[in-house]
Structure 1
Amino acid sequence: MTIRVNRRAALGLGTVATAGTVLGAGTPASAAAMRPRAAANAVEAASWVAARYAQQSTLAGGNWQAYVTVANSSAAPLVAVADEADTQIEAYSVNKIAVATAVLDKVDRGLLTLAQQVDVTASIVVPGGDGIFSLDGAYPSSVTLGHALANLLTVSDDTAVRLCGLVCPAAELNQILVTKGFPNTQVQPVANPNRFFLGTSTPRESHDLLRALVAGTLLSASSTAFLLGLLRSPVAFNDGIRREMSSAQRARIATKAGWFGDARHEAGVIFDSAGAAVLTYALFADGQADAGNFGATHPAVRARARMGRSFLATIDGLTGAGAIHRPAVRRPSNGG
């Protein structure tokens, strides 16, 4: 079942009600969108999620491509948003989930281990890149593959991409993703076989990869737990979907953002309080104003923060479907 709003028909707070006739919901879409609260069932939740997406993406402007679903007990999930969902676009750092998937697939097959060392040379460090490797200044050194993946998926370290390329070259990485059913989620090879740009995906494939991850069909149980643990960690991306939330609420969300040029993307999963997946999202945006702003005040990032708070409130009374993934217990430390 698909519940869809035409985003371009929703021209702001006063006109989101226009979408209500498309949704066929009992409550006007404008009221649901502006008053975040728990939906009574999955159908209502999907309609409210659609209205909130239509409202916020329109307010932010630019171009949006998205795919969002809501779990529906034992039935197939409801498609709340399908906005150009099969458009193949530059995914930027959202594709770091796909890179990690390929590396962990090799771990699952016994070809790599998280404990093995990878060399960090001065030539492999991305100058001025996002993350922490470019801040070190003490090379050559070495780190474990697990450490590289942790930096790849939490602080979105650009040098960590190159470290993954040392153990999983571009051609092999792309073939792993094709074999797993993601032919449009591919890195872009360059002359050096161990280097690549992060490449493309579609909203639907980014969404489906996450769905396969939480279902346990993408990787082994241990690799699934490792990957979700990174995406749900307190140091994972907090400017978008997770921004207006408590630490406990943030722990219920596994997310990865990607930003480059004027693009601001994010994909992830919202879990219920027990740890079952309820809502899966892939939100891709570009062309908004303030293209040089990579902070939390960018229009598309602000829009995702508002969506996130509303999405969580909307699904808060629902029970997820499938495997349970409880977050790791995090305890702040004062040293010692």
Structure 2
Amino acid sequence: MLLRLLLLICAPLSEPAGVPVSDVSLETQPPGGWVTEGDKLVLICLVANGTGNITFFWYRGALGVNLETKTQHSRTARYEILTVRESDAELYFCTADNGHGPSFSGLVPITVRIPVSRPVLILSIPDGQAMVGHMVELHCETLRGSPPIWYRYYHEDVVVWSSLVQSGGGASFNFSLSAGHSGNYSCEADNGPGAQRSEVVTLYVTVPVEGRMDHFPSGVIEGTLGSLGPITGALLLCYWLKRKIGRRSEDPVRSPSSPVSQEPSHLNSHATGQLEPLYENVNIVSGDEVYSLVYQIQQEQEPATGEHPRTYVDIYSRPRKANVVDVDYDDTM
């Protein structure tokens, strides 16, 4: 009888007192298990039912690597990862025990979002120069960052194209060049934590000469082309005169036959020691003008041995007349 009474007294001492823990759960901050690399992650273990001191355990991975153990008179406990790294992306769970046996939470996945690094903008033309009508590719890619990533292309700080990329590899923008595509280009990568802009790439678009002439007034083009005829004729005339004078200086005895002249007769003066004028019409340039060559040879009474007469040349021009016959005396000499 005494032994039975002792057993009844001692039996409650061997069993834990209070209410066992139940309905254990694991919550995260920030909510949803999404955290950016470098930020702080908090794992909160909650007990819905239980009394007394409770011991909390936090585990990482499905196999359960223990991270932290705390005992406190509370149904809530916190475990913090102050600086999250990419390697902290894993499954986590916790347990709680107040002496009646552990109670487990469910598995909670933690996703670590990697911010994008500064993207690189690559132009398919290495020197940045191309002609109108050429196809050009702009490729923007960030070397680091969690997808999905938004890529935006800017021309002089104005968005011209965008694309959402669900996996790695970057985005490409292709277009045919026009004169208005010259300028500075850049791209931007953004996956949520913060956008990053690339360096500026300059594109030079060359307009063909034919295309640029279309922008000039027709009168300017016609005037420019029309002025080439007299200039060319003048150059040819200078070249012809140089050869003419050279041949006369080599053969001073040679004298031209009487020219067919319509000029005043006072030019034909033959006084000894004076200038002897000769002239002839030169039909070098086609058009409404006739160029006349007038050269004067000074005859000295007693020229020194080996010396040649001096020659002076003048050039005149007059409008062509329909009944005038131009004679090139170079052909008759």
**TM-score tier (shorter):** under 0.3
Query: If each structure's helix is expressed as a fraction of its own residues, which one has the higher value?
Result: 1
TM score, norm. by length of structure 2: 0.20
Query: If each structure's strand is expressed as a fraction of its own residues, which one has the higher value?
Result: 2
TM score, norm. by length of structure 1: 0.20
